[in-house]
Amino acid sequence: MRRAYPGPVSIPSLADLHARAPAQQPTWPDEAERDRVVAKLRRQPPLVFAGECDRLRDQLAEVAAGRSFLLQGGDCAETFDGVSADNVRNKLQVLLSMAVVLTYAASVPVVKVGRIAGQYAKPRSSGSETRGAVTLPAYRGDAVNGVAFDEHTRRPDPQRLLDVYNASAATLNLARAFVTGGYADLRQVHTWNTDFVRTSPVGARYEALGAEIDRALAFMDACGVNPDQLNTVDFFASHEALICDYEQPMTRIDSRTDQPYDVSGHFLWIGERTRQLDGAHVELLSRVRNPIGVKLGPTTTPDDAIALAERLDPEGEPGRLTFITRVGAQRVRDVLPPLIDKVTAAGVQVAWVCDPMHGNTFETSNGYKTREFDSIIDEVQGFFEVHRGLGTWPGGLHVELTGDDVTECIGGGGQLSALDLVSRYDSVCDPRLNRAQSLELAFLVAEMLRAA
Ligand code: PEP
Ligand code: CO
Residue 182: the pLDDT is: 78
| Residue ranges per structural domain of the chain | 14-184+232-451
Q: How many CB atoms lie within 10 A of CB 35?
A: 14
DSSP code, position 40: H
- Shortest-distance ligand to the CA of residue 369: 2
Residue-averaged pLDDT of the chain: 94
Instruction: Work out the average pLDDT over 118-127.
Output: 97
Q: Is the pLDDT of residue 3 over 60?
A: no
Q: How many CB atoms lie within 10 A of CB 152?
A: 10
Q: Is the pLDDT of residue 218 over 60?
A: yes
| Phi-psi region at 117: left, alpha or beta (left = phi > 0; alpha = psi -120 to 50) | left
Q: Which CATH number fits domain 14-184+232-451: 3.30.450.40, 3.30.2350.10, 3.40.50.150, 3.20.20.70?
A: 3.20.20.70
Q: Is the CB of 252 under 6 A from ligand 1?
A: no
Q: Select from 113, 272, 397 the residue to mutate for testing ligand 1; criterion: most ligand atoms less than 8 Å from CB.
A: 272
Instruction: Work out the average pLDDT over 422-447.
Output: 94
Pairing state between β 69-74 and 110-115: parallel
Let me know: does 369 contact 361? Beta carbons within 8 Å: yes
Q: How far is the CA of 303 from the centre of ligand 2 (A)?
A: 26
Q: How far is the CA of 90 from the centre of ligand 1 (A)?
A: 23
Q: Is the CB of 92 under 6 A from ligand 1?
A: no
Residue 1: the pLDDT is: 42
Beta bridge pairs of residue 396: 70, 353
Q: Is the CB of 416 under 6 A from ligand 1?
A: no
What is the amino acid identity at position 288?
V
| Residue nearest atom 8 in ligand 1 by C-alpha distance | 271
Q: How far is the CA of 400 from the centre of ligand 2 (A)?
A: 7
Atom of ligand 1 nearest to the CA of 123: 5
Residues 234-288 have pLDDT tens digits of 999 999 999 999 999 999 999 999 999 999 999 999 999 999 999 999 999 999 9
Q: Is the pLDDT of residue 27 over 70?
A: yes
Let me know: does 406 contact 433? Beta carbons within 8 Å: no
Give the least confident one: 109-118, 119-128, 164-173, 198-207.
198-207
Q: Is the CB of 123 under 6 A from ligand 1?
A: yes
Question: Alpha-carbon distance 79 to 271, whole Å?
Answer: 19
Give the contacts of 159 (CB within 8 A, at least 6 positions apart): 33, 37
Instruction: Work out the average pLDDT over 5-11.
Output: 78
Give the least confident one: 44-58, 207-221, 277-291.
207-221
Q: Is the pLDDT of residue 2 over 70?
A: no
Q: Is the CB of 271 under 6 A from ligand 1?
A: yes
Q: Is the pLDDT of residue 5 over 80?
A: no
Q: Is the CB of 272 under 6 A from ligand 1?
A: yes
Residues 365-397 have pLDDT tens digits of 989 999 999 999 999 999 999 999 999 999 999
Predicted model pTM: 0.96
* φ, ψ dihedrals at 189, nearest 5°: -50, -35
- Shortest-distance ligand to the CA of residue 269: 1
Q: How far is the CA of 295 from the centre of ligand 1 (A)?
A: 7
DSSP code, position 189: G
Q: Is the CB of 281 under 6 A from ligand 1?
A: no
Atom of ligand 1 nearest to the CA of 76: 3
54 pLDDT band, cuts 50/70/90, is very high
Q: Select from 269, 355, 369, 399 the residue to mutate for testing ligand 1; criterion: most ligand atoms less than 8 Å from CB.
A: 355
Q: Select from 324, 326, 427 the residue to mutate for testing ligand 1; criterion: most ligand atoms less than 8 Å from CB.
A: 326
